[in-house]
Amino acid sequence: MLPTLFELSRSGKRAVKFPKAAMHSSAKIPAKLLRRQNPSLPELTELDVVRHFTLASQMNYSVDTQFYPLGSCTMKYNPKANFHWALHPAFAGAHPLWPSWAVQGTLESLAGLEEGLAAITGMDAVTLAPAAGAHAELVGILVAGAFYQDKGQAAKRRKIIIPDSAHGTNPASAALGGFEVVTIKSTARGRIDVLQLKKVLDDTTAMVMITVPNTLGLFEDDVLEVSRLAHNAGAQMYMDGANMNALMGIVKPASLGFDMMHINLHKTFSVPHGGGGPGAGVLLVRRHLEEYLPVPRLIRRPANQNGELSILDAHPKSIGRIRAFHGSTGNLLWAASYLALLGRDGVFQASRDAIVNANYLRRLLQDAGLTPYSDEPCMHEAVFTIDPKKLNGVRTLDIAKRLLDFGFYAPTVYFPLIVPEAMMVEPTETESPETLEQFANAVKTILSEAASDPQKVKDAPHALPVRRLDDVLAARNPVVTYQVS
Amino acid sequence: MSQQETLLKKIGVKSFEDLLPSLPKDLLFPTLDLPTGKTEMELREHADRLAGANRPVASFMGAGAYDHFIPQTVWEIVKRGEFLTAYTPYQAEASQGTLLALFEFQTMISELFGMDVANASMYDGSTALAEALLLARRWHMEELGRRARKILIPRALHPQYKATLSTYLKNLDVKIEEIPYNRQNGRTDVAALKTALKQPETFAFVVSQPNFFGILEETDLIGELRQQTEALFICLVNNPISLGILNPPGSYNADIAVAEGQPLGLPLSFGGPYVGLFAAKNTYTRRLPGRICGRTVDAQGKTGYALTLQTREQHIRREKATSNICTNQTLCAVAATIYLSLLGPDGLREAAELTLERAHEIWDLLLGSTNAGAPTFAKAEFFQEFPFDLKITRERLEAVSSETNLIPGYPLAHDFPELPQALLIAATEKTKKLDAKRLVNLLNGIKDASNVIRA
């Protein structure tokens, strides 16, 4: 392991200097407020810093260096062409509180993204403010709350229905929004149980929240019936759009009866994942929910008043602000650029290729010896299960760790929670058939190792900077900072 | 045979539609009202045209986001594909670079704030503050077994942070009470805060240092109040660069310290992505929201890093999680870590001192001018920004500002109707003396061709 920056630090070293201020802080700040002791930040040269972080980066797997089949995360390649727009100094330098006359280019970029996302989903209105998918869920839940407040039904509609295959953020967001979560079990086919839904759905339901395709990589074939039932009960239909990469140009969520949905732009729209963020969520709604969306919002003046874009800072029915400023504009530009690059045919082709790739990989992995959760074709990802009893006690986690030795990142494991020893594989459209074949070969090799030398698999990884890490120790005795002094 | 056809054949289906048996046939393949795709060359032209529609301006806008100097090294490293295109380090063994950087980030933020622990970052400063209040609420209800119904915030808190708090707390039965500020010096009224803290069911009080007006609060006196109350003291550090010279929140008893980390190497980017900083006393470690990186050992006893304390999080606890957050701002946290390691303690102090000096130069220029107006708070003590009561009307100011491409600051009248003429003016170490003169000319109503900023 590399030493930390604190261990590399030597007193008096420095990379960046500023011109000296002529006056001393104590001339302007009362002595009792002045810092008495410097913070123990490391003291390093620029080369120390560059070398440390370059070496650190080389300990990461990433899409630029490895196949990253992390299910539900849509780790597609992020085209370098998008850097130009996303990092352009004219956009990067814009202050969020500047008046709209100074930032028409930024606002036009964002308006183009809003229009494009609305076209793909069939939704009517968009807020680009949420910082991530979970943030957008919370906003959607608050929007539904405000809608029912306005209709005089807020006290009654306290319940949000969520299937047990959902992402953990769905129930967590519902709880944070002040709602009661009702979980319904999935059917043996991995779909929403309509009979059970009917039992819990009533006029106390605010929302039915479902993921399409669901986390098993399957399309909810009863979705039109679910929408009909929810709407008859007066509830809103929310779509978790984490898996939107399966639907562009395939089907519009609005046509399935959804009243609102979010999209994780860092998944489907190729904003680089950044090692775990920053993400960018977007919430899209049908017309009846538009006036409850958070502020600020983007407004286009009519063409006879120069057609310029401006910022709407307040609206009486809006849920208000969900963060200090507009949104993660830097990331939104990345998505705007990706959308412009792909265009109408490109987004459809992306989804189509993602589905074909997933089914090809599903077939290859089945041939390699994994058991698919479902017999049906999958959408953009597939879930597999294994039986450790038949593999000398080798578990999904062991296979995941061993894959790292073969130069592949691991699939998502132990999710969805309803599948034992789950392994969720999402290849995305940007991987070649050859890469998928190499990955399947690695899985095949690992499964034969499980028969011949199971300990080798259980002890994996062997070829990485560290061997298997002790998560239990980390949690039992948390060391979350380096003890500098 | 095309590659698609070959793959379909290998999958064992005749056509792509055969892969979609569950989808409603009549809704398949809708037309999309989108332009056709662009080549990279066309894309660049398009982006450049839009970039040209943003105006080149000189700006004195601060109000929670600041144009500080970003060393070249920061983004040269951040743009490396290994940081940029990795994801959440669920497989820790293949993510040691990101995890090491997060461990260093947590350490630096703890040191900077004088606190015991920090998490791996939040969405931004405003949501970090909201999450701090949610933590305080749960602490009171679950650890202390008390009812938690009220928080105290300064009237002089960032208005957009106030708005965010009220959205987050809307459905949780929490009252928000404002503590007034002193009209002479702009500081929060500590005596009023002391009285308000005696109210039952108050679970937290927030203080911003400096406050939204840029004014330095008496954090020493405020910190003493914590000893007489069960309410948690949450300190919002308005700009972490100020901690190069200002006392850290840990030194005055704060339970939790949060900040907008944007000034630490992140561009303004019209509001994001930014990075929320979140630090706390040890007591709260197991209740922190968001991701945390911890040091551990591998199977052979070697040091390594992993995400830890995940049982707090939504993917395990679902509706009982400490937060719904499933992400952090890793890349921004990495940028901040690189920024702080390049500056070190002395660089950070220099940046803070120079910022302080630039802001006071503008103050002196304005006070020495004849027609600009007068300071909103005659006895202001400030770090990098201050409010100034203008003579020029709001309408006139907006018109001249747009004519000259000079954005003079943030007008306070909308959020603080009691300060109808006040403009919040900010500086950083980057503020140019020529621009400061232009600002003073503009506020004095002097029209001059040299005052117009051009591309």
Return all residues near B402 (Cβ < 8 A) that are at least 6 apart: A99, A101
DSSP state of B424: E
Q: Is the dihedral of CA B181, B185, B190, B195 positive or negative?
A: negative
Same fold across B58-68+344-451 and B72-339:
no
Dump pLDDT digits (tens) for B132-159.
999 999 999 999 999 999 999 999 999 9
Q: What single-letter amino acid sits at A451? A: A
Kindly list the domain boundaries of chain B, sorted by start residue: 58-68+344-451, 72-339
Cα separation, B256 vs B132, whole angstroms: 7
Q: Write the CA distances from B202 to B164, B195, B225, integer angstroms.
A: 19, 12, 13
Cα separation, A415 vs A80, whole angstroms: 31
Model pLDDT, residue A384: 98
Q: Write the CA distances from A212 to A191, A209, B17, B256, integer angstroms.
A: 10, 10, 18, 39
A277 neighbourhood in chain B, CB within 8 Å = 88, 121, 273, 327-332
Model pLDDT, residue A57: 98
Domain B72-339 architecture: 3-Layer(aba) Sandwich (3.40)
Q: Which of A148-162, A425-439, B162-176 has the lowest mean pLDDT?
A: B162-176
Average pLDDT, chain A: 96
Q: Which of A208-222, A276-290, B322-336, B421-435 has the lowest mean pLDDT?
A: B322-336
Average pLDDT over residues B354-383: 97
Q: What are phi and psi of A483, to 5 degrees?
A: -80, 95
Q: Is A301 helix (H, G, I), strand (E, B) or coil?
A: coil
Interface test with B, best of A1, A4, A16 (most B CBs within 10 A): A16
A468 neighbourhood in chain B, CB within 8 Å = 93, 298-299
Return all residues near B228 (Cβ < 8 A) that are at least 6 apart: B194, B197
A9, A44 in Cβ contact below 8 A?
Answer: yes
Q: Is B231 helix (H, G, I), strand (E, B) or coil?
A: coil
A60 neighbourhood in chain B, CB within 8 Å = 82-83, 86, 94-98
Cα separation, A60 vs A150, whole angstroms: 49
Cα separation, A194 vs A198, whole angstroms: 6
Residue from A36, A276, A308, A211 nearest B90 by CA: A276
Return all residues near B223 (Cβ < 8 A) that are at least 6 apart: B233, B251, B252, B253, B254
Residue indicated by tokens 């002790």: A470
Using only C-alpha atoms, chain A has a radius of gyration, in whole angstroms, of 25
Burial group, residue B379, by CB count within 10 angstroms (0-12, 13-18, 19+): exposed
Model pLDDT, residue A339: 98
Q: Which of A187-196, B324-333, B393-402 has the lowest mean pLDDT?
A: B324-333
Model pLDDT, residue B207: 98
Banded model confidence at residue B316, pLDDT cuts 50, 70, 90: low
Bridge partners (DSSP) of residue A211 are A240
Q: Is B115 helix (H, G, I), strand (E, B) or coil?
A: coil
Helix (H) or strand (E) run with residue A337 in it:
helix A329-368
Model pLDDT, residue B390: 97
A213, A379 in Cβ contact below 8 A?
Answer: yes
CB contact residues (below 8 A), chain B span 52-111, against chain A: 52-55, 57, 59, 61, 63-65, 67, 69, 71, 73, 75-77, 79-98, 100-101, 103-104, 106-108, 110-111
> Is residue A6 scored above 80 in pLDDT?
yes
Model pLDDT, residue B121: 96
Average pLDDT over residues A211-223: 95
Number of H helices, E strands in chain A: 15, 13
Q: Does B12 touch chain A (CB under 8 A)?
A: yes
Q: What single-letter amino acid sits at A21? A: A
Residue from A273, A309, A48 nearest B270 by CA: A309
> Is residue B454 scored above 80 in pLDDT?
no
Dump pLDDT digits (tens) for A261-289.
999 999 999 999 999 999 999 999 999 99
Bridge partners (DSSP) of residue A60 are B95
Residue from B33, B23, B29 nearest A256 by CA: B23
* Longest Cα separation, chain A: 76
Q: How many residues does chain A have?
A: 485
Q: Is A242 helix (H, G, I), strand (E, B) or coil?
A: coil
Q: Is A398 helix (H, G, I), strand (E, B) or coil?
A: helix
Q: Which of A342-346, B283-287, B319-323 has the lowest mean pLDDT?
A: B319-323
Model pLDDT, residue B455: 62
Banded model confidence at residue A485, pLDDT cuts 50, 70, 90: low
A245, A350 in Cβ contact below 8 A?
Answer: yes
Banded model confidence at residue A49, pLDDT cuts 50, 70, 90: very high
B82, A57 in Cβ contact below 8 A?
Answer: yes
From the CB of residue B25, how many other CB atoms can be counted at a distance below 10 Å?
9
DSSP letter string, A436-452: HHHHHHHHHHHHHHHHH
Model pLDDT, residue B335: 98
Q: State the Cα torsion B380-B381-B387-B391 to the nearest 10°.
A: 40
Q: Is the dihedral of CA B84, B86, B87, B90 positive or negative?
A: negative
Average pLDDT over residues A225-253: 98
Q: What single-letter amino acid sits at A231? A: H
Tokens of A336: 């705007």
Interface test with B, best of A250, A308, A323, A408 (most B CBs within 10 A): A323
Average pLDDT, chain B: 95
Average pLDDT over residues B222-246: 97
> Is residue B172 scored above 90 in pLDDT?
no
DSSP letter string, B188-219: B-HHHHHHHTTSTTEEEEEEEES-TTSBPP-H
Across the interface, which of A36, A119, A276 has its CB nearest the CB of B87?
A276
Banded model confidence at residue B313, pLDDT cuts 50, 70, 90: low
Average pLDDT over residues B103-123: 97
Domains with residue ranges and CATH for chain A: 5-57 (no CATH), 81-340 (3.40.640.10), 344-473 (3.90.1150.10)
Report the chain A residue with the minimal C-alpha distance to residue B116: A481
Burial group, residue A479, by CB count within 10 angstroms (0-12, 13-18, 19+): middle
> Is residue B264 scored above 80 in pLDDT?
yes
Report the chain A residue with the minimal C-alpha distance to residue B217: A33
Cα separation, A342 vs A350, whole angstroms: 8
> Is residue A211 scored above 70 in pLDDT?
yes
Q: Which fold has domain B58-68+344-451?
A: Aspartate Aminotransferase, domain 1 (3.90.1150)
> Is residue A206 scored above 90 in pLDDT?
yes
Banded model confidence at residue B319, pLDDT cuts 50, 70, 90: confident
Percent of chain B residues past pLDDT 70, beyond the cut = 98
> Is residue A457 scored above 90 in pLDDT?
yes
Cα-to-chain-centroid distance, residue B24 = 45
Model pLDDT, residue B446: 83
Dump pLDDT digits (tens) for B23-71.
999 999 999 999 999 999 999 999 999 999 999 999 999 999 999 999 9
Model pLDDT, residue A301: 83
CB pairs under 8 A between A and B: 659
